[in-house]
Chain A
């Protein structure tokens, strides 16, 4: 894990190195300054040497200035190193995610990736800065102060040593205990918030069933629970403060007592006593800081692990060594194709599929939920790799093509499609960055999108909000089709892409395909029988098995599933939607 993360420091190695160096120098200065203070009192005030006070004072100012310089530089490099580290982490993850195949993405889930790129990186950024600054500073400060204390008086310094050990043990105990409780309570706390979230989004259900009081009771029980756990955890932390105080006070009093005796016995100077007391603070503070750094670092371990998972994930679909950059035509062949999302799954998602599609054909694909229609088409552009068998496009194994070439020639309109924030033009040009306005408009006409785009006040320059929230479902689908058309692919796949479009428009789009892009192979997945019945041939899938493949008439005559779907839809359970009204 450290190796993976360390590799991301890159150009900020210098900053990462200089930060602790300056921090150490600053700590040295902090250790020396109390010595100077002692000297001012001992050799200046007590000896009645005003010149010494001036000289030492001047030196102290110099030391303070140097310390200031180190502190500022340490802060500056620390900020740069950590901000840079965070940037590199984000960039490395983002770049790696871009190489992910669909199955890699499925594995992490969208929300998981977002958290890793945002919250987890911020956690690591803070931890890194802490590591560079505090992790070096605290122990060095502790050691320096301890050394100086020993230098002044080994006898008195041993009091500190004992105190440090005792305090260290107690702090460690408190920290571990509290950490344990916190680890227990945080997930519960998240659950509580999740249940609030659930209530907010399901408020209509709650109100419709008049379950407000029920929910309130449920919430109060949970929140009482959280309260108890937090009180337990923080109750332990409440010891931190007094324990620390008692230790420091004990040290002060011991030093005062023994110190007084030594001064009277002329083995110690007053100035030295003052310095010792200052070191007392330095030592205890460092210890406190160490325990805190420890907690912060352990908390960021989880984030670090999640980030490493992304960084170390290897895409399971890669370009072949000598890729083919030319797809001859839009023919597709499945040769005994079996497919599993998960290599260990017992039941394949697609089982021994054999079929052959000619270039330029229009193929409908029909089947129930879970019949693997989407899986079937996603193999064509190698969004997933087959488990067994081979998929051929243009007569060649899809694995022999350059991935970009293949995906540009096989244009898929995904079922869960996404528009990006930007103007309609910008969105369309995802299909072809160099498309002219004219070409964009043409594609929209084919996809029956121009009719509503032109009604927008800003037309093609209308800004699409993130997630396409300002266009309706049907409009979004038509824009996605237009975007896919701009690629001028040899194969066009529509995965249930007109479900929210009314039937008349749907028919118009299909008609346009037939007349305007006759050479493109078109695969249309649909629930509506009307969307597929005039295709050249229709594939009927059932539970991952090819049930039938033939024309509408053939299937009607021979295929039971097809006939059942046809009858149920034409006999009146079809959609009565925005037909004609849109």
Chain B
């Protein structure tokens, strides 16, 4: 009996994938497939070999079952019918033997299904882990140039199609091939002319699949396009729904929606129609093939040509029936595999991204002063030093971490062709507060991103306590810098854990102390669970001002000697703003601070103000000096105050 393995598996639902989806464009599918395979084999080589063996056993068990049908009629039923006192012990014996084979087949089926679960999930886990681990190492520029939606879709959609492929498509593909080969050989052994006839009909099936598939693919592409259009429209309009209401634009919006919705209906209807038609068409071609074979086979058997018997015809007909199916499946699985390969191409391209390079060798160590000399220690002295191991002779220098930062003729561009910062010179002595002012796009944020080496400069030098920052290990460099970004990002965790992010081994008391310093303690106490309140969705349950206070507390607990602050421009109300401002001031006290300033008070209280325009420093000095100069700063300042 044709007990092809696929029959026992759930069939994929309608409207889903099939041999009719648009073929995605993969450049080098063979190479990609091999790479994926070797990725799987890396951890699961033994598993995979076992799976192949088990699939082979399963298929063989099926095929031998079909062979048995022939023996059943020809060697047992026919002779038994002729006996006066039929002896069934021979048949019983044969059935027992087949049952054993079947049992082994079923066991093998279970074994490979179970192993495949581990292989699939394990590979996906490894891929996810590798992707995430690798992603964390990527430079900021990667995140600038790739949309977050695209990155996420690699983790969700691409991994999901891969799951489908590894767990279903590959085993079924293998199964289909083994089945086709074994069924084909069996058919050949039974009768060659009938086999040729069957092959002819398979050719017809393939032809119809190709024709219908092409039609359906065309509509499927149209459907994908329409779905994208409808989804895009829905997203835009739902976001603007309140504006629609305010402008009483409901009817127009409905009319627009109906237009593209109808379009989607058309293409979805056509795409699904051709998708649905394929199966019955192929099934009936299969039936006709069956009829043809039974007629021709009947004639052959009646005529007794070439020793063809009734039993052989029965077996052949079951083979005939089981031949078309794996061939159809082969084309279906092939398409799934190509689709999954497109996904794995994106996964591998993420894994192939070049990680952040770090040639730094100067490290940050705890230090103490002994007889005026700086030495390394494991004590918590509150003093830190740069450990500079000279490459030439291996001698070690210690330089105290003070927070002295110098820019020397720095040029920078996000892409090599377009320089956005030109010849920037600046210096900050420990404890100084440096404010950057200038219009949007003047390069304020860019400069701060260079200090912690989110980006590497093209030309010039940045020195930190006299050391070129390229020589400092990135992790240690960043440890020494605190950052409060303009848009605060919080994590799904408690308030306590979010603050502790700045210093993982901080005690609860330290966290509370930092929150107090940042003026965040008051509002945290008022939260439902105080410090143990869960924050979700980037702190969606907090106000803008509160999120900023948490970000300040997070920076405060890290207690870095150098601070980079990006003041928020968003409209927080005056009272909260004052609290935030106050928190920031406390944080800045005694630290070298670079601040992208938006508030007059911050600017006025700075030791040095750098006025930027189009990537160049055009003025520098303190408030009074710059006012006296009557330049751009004066213009900005008075233009502002004229209204205030």
Contact = CB atoms under 8 A, between A and B. Distances in A.
Given A133-B14, A367-B573, A110 B294 contact: no
A504 B439 CA distance: 14
A128 B459 CA distance: 63
B280 A68 contact: yes
B281 A71 contact: yes
Interface stretch (A142-150, A209-217, A390-398, A447-455): A209-217
Interface string A240-266: 111011101100110011001101101
B117 A234 contact: yes
Contacts, number: 488
By DSSP majority rule, is chain B's interface helix, strand, loop, or mixed?
Answer: helix
Interface string B229-251: 01110111111111111111111
A238 B51 CA distance: 13
B264 interface: yes
Nearest to A84: B265
Contacts of A118: 230-231, 234
Nearest to A503: B643
Interface in A422-460: 430-431, 433
B578 interface: yes
A208 B72 contact: no
B250 A98 contact: yes
A383 B246 contact: yes
A193 to B, nearest CB: 6
Contact of B276 (A79, A381, A506): A79
Interface stretch (B5-13, B39-47, B193-201, B337-345): B5-13
Interface in B457-495: 474-475, 478-479, 481-483, 485, 489-492
B88 to A, nearest CB: 7
A45 B571 contact: no
Interface in B505-522: none
B81 interface: yes
A270 B310 contact: yes
Given A75-B273, A260-B91, A576-B600, A281 B2 contact: yes
A357 interface: no
Contact of B598 (A245, A371, A496, A576): A576
Nearest to B131: A196
Contact of B155 (A110, A193, A204, A580): A193
A572 to B, nearest CB: 4
Contacts of B291: 57, 60-61, 64
Contact of B502 (A209, A370, A430, A579): A209
A186 to B, nearest CB: 12
A224 interface: yes
A412 B234 CA distance: 23
B302 interface: yes
B73 A209 contact: no
B310 A41 contact: yes
Interface string B140-151: 100100001001
Contacts of B452: 207-208
Contacts of A130: 13-14
A461 interface: no
Contacts of A580: 635-636, 639-640
Contact of B3 (A99, A245, A411): A245
Interface stretch (B254-262, B328-336, B395-403, B414-422): B254-262
A369 B295 contact: no
B34 interface: no
A574 B644 contact: yes
B483 A204 contact: yes
A235 interface: yes
Contacts of A280: 1
A8 interface: no
Contacts of B261: 87, 90-91, 94
Interface in A26-46: 26, 33, 37, 40-41, 44-46
A238 B95 contact: no
A433 B256 CA distance: 14
Given A40-B294, A241-B9, A568-B578, A418 B240 contact: yes
Given A219-B129, A281-B7, A245 B238 contact: no
A91 B1 contact: no
B640 A576 contact: yes
Contact of A285 (B7, B68, B483): B7
A335 B273 CA distance: 61
Contacts of A411: 246
A420 B232 CA distance: 11
B625 interface: no
A490 to B, nearest CB: 15
Given A68-B281, A99-B250, A527-B574, A57 B133 contact: no
A451 to B, nearest CB: 15
Query: Contact residue range for chain B?
Result: 35 or more
Contacts of A367: 573
A504 B642 CA distance: 8
A230 interface: yes
Interface in A201-240: 201-212, 214-216, 219-220, 223-224, 226-227, 230-231, 234-235, 237-240
B231 A238 contact: no
A277 B1 contact: yes
A554 interface: no
Nearest to A567: B574
Interface string A560-575: 0000110011111111
Contacts of A245: 3, 5, 8, 58, 102, 105-106, 109
Contacts of A277: 1, 69, 318
Contacts of B80: 260, 264
A153 interface: no
Contact of A83 (B268, B283, B485): B268
Interface in A45-92: 45-46, 48, 50, 53-54, 57, 60-61, 64-65, 67-68, 70-72, 74-76, 78-80, 82-84, 86-87, 90-91
Contacts of A368: 573-576
A552 to B, nearest CB: 13
Contacts of B99: 249, 253
A326 interface: no
B643 A82 contact: no
Contact of A579 (B135, B232, B636): B636
Interface stretch (B120-128, B181-189, B524-532): B120-128
A164 B16 CA distance: 28
Contact of A381 (B246, B301, B558): B246
A91 B8 CA distance: 39
Contacts of A281: 1-2, 7
Nearest to B480: A210
Interface string A373-388: 0000000010100000
Interface in A531-582: 564-565, 568-582
Nearest to B265: A87
A575 B140 contact: no
B313 interface: yes
Nearest to B5: A241
A185 B576 CA distance: 42
B371 interface: no
B29 interface: no
A99 B135 CA distance: 44
A206 B138 CA distance: 12
B279 A71 contact: yes
A157 B277 CA distance: 32
For the complex of A and B, list the 6 residue pairs with the smallest distance between their C-beta atoms, beginning with the closest. A71-B280, A75-B276, A580-B639, A202-B489, A79-B272, A581-B439
Given A215-B132, A219-B133, A231-B121, 20 more contacts: A53-B299, A75-B280, A87-B264, A114-B235, A200-B135, A212-B137, A223-B125, A239-B113, A240-B10, A241-B5, A242-B107, A245-B102, A381-B246, A420-B236, A503-B639, A527-B574, A572-B599, A575-B600, A579-B640, A581-B613
13 contacts: A41-B294, A44-B298, A57-B291, A67-B280, A68-B280, A200-B152, A204-B454, A208-B482, A220-B129, A226-B125, A504-B643, A527-B572, A573-B600
